[in-house]
A and B are shown apart, each in its own frame.
Chain A
Amino acid sequence: MRLTELIKSAFSSLWSRKIRSFLTSLGVIIGVFSVAALLSVAESSVREMNESLSILNSEAIEVWINDPDIELTMDDIKELGEDEFISAVAPYIVGNAEINKGLIDLNTSIIYTTSEYDEAKDLTVHNGRFILPIDQLEETNTVVLGINIALKLFANIDVLGETISINNVDFTIIGVLKETPSGLFEDTNEELIIPKSTAERYFGVEGINNIAIEAANKESSQETVEFLNRYLYLKFEDEESYNIYSNDQVQSYIDETSKTLMFMLGGIGGISLLVSGVGIMNIMLVSVRERTREIGIRKAIGARRKDILIQFLVEAIVLSIFGGLTGIGLTYLIAQPVGNIMGGLDLSLSTTTVMISTLFSLGVGVVFGLYPAVKASKLIPVKALRYD
């Protein structure tokens, strides 16, 4: 029989059992909806992570010391700063600060660092200036505010010369930073920056456990990481005691995480699709049993094994593709409004998601429809005709 005839026949047969066909497809609809919706969530999260990473400084490198018993010194910073691959290096310590201005109290992160920090972290001052070497030298009570801190304390950013209290010590505001994209580990907009020497004097801060570095250029970023690795290993002889992060590494970490996320979420949806496939197989087996006599009649008239096999396979595929397309349509209608409710997540369906979902549903139809179809095709005509 011609393929078009077989497809027509499959539709006619499924149409004659409308409710059953729809209920069988419902499993696929739910399965494809799960796959498509979860992949959309995964894609959307990955897209957002990549977008925030793409606007970060790609030359930026961070060194974090994990072991509380070891620390870097200013001599190390000086030595690193002389390397040809490094254009700026700044030590910094992250602390916590109680801020007070009039009636407002804030608890926020504070960075104790040197005048190279703005270059190493690619920060730009919006108002005023950044910390200068003289501030470091004279241990001045000066502070640079992240833009959000300025807004929280003063409701505007023209605050140069104002005084705020940090851990009960008065500091004069010398600058406000421009808004910067929030990084994966920090948000400069929500931080204060004061000279490291001042922090040592007032707050007893000592040692260096973080360094911000800017590589000379993007190409030398990897070489700089390797150089830092050698340097730190020679110093501490324990590669577990420190971590080096570059944006390249973070990118590859995100790529790895994205893959895992996609596989995990796609897999969860895939399981429901597989369950729906078992449903299709079950219904098709029932159908083969119920239509055994019909198969016998068709064979007596001249249907070949291949004709019967294709007929039942096409029925299974039609069920799964119908379910697949309906599931995708449903995701299309539901995903974006749900994304909006979830804080403006862009859950629009990508071509890849549509392709994966459609192919998966087609695959389910073929894989789970094959066994019943083969079973139907192998029936011996005389036995099939005798079946009641």
Chain B
Amino acid sequence: MSKLIKLNNIHKHYSMSNFIVRALDGVDLTIDEGEFTSIIGPSGSGKSTIMNIIGCLDIVSKGDYYLCGENVARLSDRRLADIRNKRLGFVFQNYNLLNNISALENVMLAGKYAKMKSKECKLLAKEALRKVGLEGRMFHKPSELSGGQQQRVAFARALFGNPLLLLADEPTGNLDSKTSKEILKMLVNLNKQGTTIILVTHDMDIANVATRKIEMLDGKVINDIRREKENEIN
């Protein structure tokens, strides 16, 4: 398998009023294409920060980040936007859908930013919503959908352009246990279909769904375990 992500000595510091927070403190990490990796750690361990760095939502203070062999730490804002649009997909704990537009329009947004033709964009968005089982709720606004349905819309939006990497930050955090299991099954299936997934969670049971588990503490990777066996969702 080829290397999708390579982090070399990544540091991320935040300046507070009279002290510096070291959110990431020299992280080295490699993730291969097709891997299902969970990043786990307590609050403040740096797990969300590393996801933001990998997702090009934030920039590093120091170090190099290679995505598909390209050092994205040195790219322009415009190029980073292109990467987020075409190579990455995000699923957040609070869904992050736009409330004033329908589920279909939310999914179509990614295509619109890719300057895709409206007709083609609509077809692909409908297809993505069908895949997550929401063909009957396409024209509903997020406020008219349940939490699980909103998260499915978020998945449809994340998978819209067939991204190389799906980043999921506590995707089941706001869901009941039944819906959480459905979402996790969806992640496993996506991974089986070849999508590389990084799942950030503080819940060990959820982290165990992944084939690789990275534990973080105080901005450092303290454990990196790979498992051979199939994922199990109880």
Interface, chain A (partner B; CB < 8 A): 1-2, 5, 12-13, 16, 293-294, 296-307, 380-382, 385
Complex Cα–Cα for A297 and B90 (A)? 10
Once the chains bind, are A294 and B81 in contact (CB under 8 Å)?
no
Residues of chain B contacted by A13 (CB below 8 angstroms): 100
Contact check, A298 vs B78: say whether CB atoms are below 8 A apart: no
Could you tell me the distance between the alpha carbons of A2 and B97 in the complex, rounded to whole angstroms? 21
The reply to whether B110 and A301 contact each other, CB–CB distance below 8 Å, is: yes
Chain A residue with Cβ nearest B121: A5
B135 at the interface (CB under 8 A from A): no
B29 on the A face (CB < 8 A): no
Contact A382-B81, Cβ < 8 Å, known A12-B101, A300-B96: no
CA–CA, A380 and B56, complex, Å:
10
Which segment, of B1-9, B36-44, B111-119, B217-225, faces chain A? B111-119
Report how far A1 CA is from B101 CA in the complex, Å: 16
What 1/0 flags go to B106-137 for Cβ under 8 Å of A?
00011011110010000000000000000000
User: CB-CB < 8 A to B113: which residues of A?
Assistant: 1, 298, 301-304, 307
Q: Are B98 and A304 in contact (CB under 8 A)?
A: no
B202 on the interface (CB 8 Å rule)? no
Q: Does A299 contact B81, Cβ atoms closer than 8 Å?
A: yes
Name the distance in Å between A217's Cβ and chain B's nearest Cβ: 69
Q: Does B77 contact A (CB under 8 A)?
A: yes
Binding site secondary structure of chain A = helix
B52 touching A382 by the CB < 8 A rule?
A: yes
Chain A contacts of B157 at CB under 8 A? 301
Q: How far is the CB of B88 from chain A (nearest CB, A)?
A: 9
Instruction: Name the contact of B96 in the complex, choosing from A1, A16, A307, A385 (C-beta under 8 A).
Output: A385
Does chain A have a CB within 8 A of B82?
yes
A302 to B78, CA, bound (A): 9
How many of chain B's residues touch chain A, expressed as a range?
Answer: 20 to 34
Q: A301 touching B84 by the CB < 8 A rule?
A: yes
* B154 nearest in chain A by CB position: A297
- Assess the B109–A298 pair: CB atoms within 8 A: yes
With both beta carbons as reference points, the residue of chain A lying nearest to B83 in the complex is identified as A302
- When chains A and B are docked, how far (Å) is the Cα of A293 from the Cα of B56? 17
Contact of A300 among B78, B90, B101 (CB under 8 A): B90
B92 in the interface (beta carbon within 8 A): yes
Is there contact, CB below 8 Å, between B78 and A293? no
- Taking a contact as CB atoms under 8 Å apart, the answer to whether A302 and B96 are in contact is no
List residues of chain B with CB within 8 A of the CB of A307.
81, 113
A16 touches B100 (CB 8 A): yes
Contact flag A381-B114 (CB < 8 Å), given A301-B84, A302-B85, A305-B77:
no
A-B contact count (CB 8 A): 68
| A residues less than 8 Å from B96 (CB atoms) | 293, 296-297, 300, 385
Q: Does B62 contact A (CB under 8 A)?
A: no
Determine which of A294, A299, A305, A381 lies in contact with B98 in the assembled complex, contact meaning CB atoms within 8 Å.
A294
**Cα–Cα distance between A298 and B112 once the two chains are bound (Å):** 11
Task: Considering the complex, give the chain B residue whose CB is closest to the CB of A378.
Answer: B77
Decide yes or no: A302 and B82 within 8 Å by CB, A2-B112, A13-B100, A381-B57 being known contacts: yes
Contact residues of B between 142 and 179, Cβ < 8 Å to A? 157
Distance of B93 from chain A, by nearest CB (Å): 11
Contact present for B100 and A301 (CB under 8 Å) = no
Asked if B34 is an interface residue, CB under 8 A from chain A, the answer is no
Q: Which chain B positions have C-beta within 8 A of A16?
A: 100
B residues less than 8 Å from A306 (CB atoms): 78
Give bound CA distance, A1 to B110, whole Å. Answer: 9
- Which residues of chain B from 41 to 73 have any CB-CB distance to chain A below 8 Å in the complex? 52, 55-59
Q: Which of B98, B100, B101, B110 contacts A302 (CB 8 A)?
A: B110
B22 touches A (CB below 8 Å)? no
Contact of A304 among B78, B97, B110, B112 (CB under 8 A): B78
A5 / chain B contacts, CB cutoff of 8 Å: 112, 118
B86 near A: Cβ within 8 Å? yes
- Least CB distance from B204 to A in Å reads 25
Given contacts A12-B101, A297-B96, contact A302 B114 (CB under 8 A): yes
A299 to B100, CA, bound (A): 17
Chain B residues near A381 (CB-CB < 8 A)? 56-58, 84
Instruction: Report Cα–Cα, A305/B86, bound state, in Å.
Output: 16
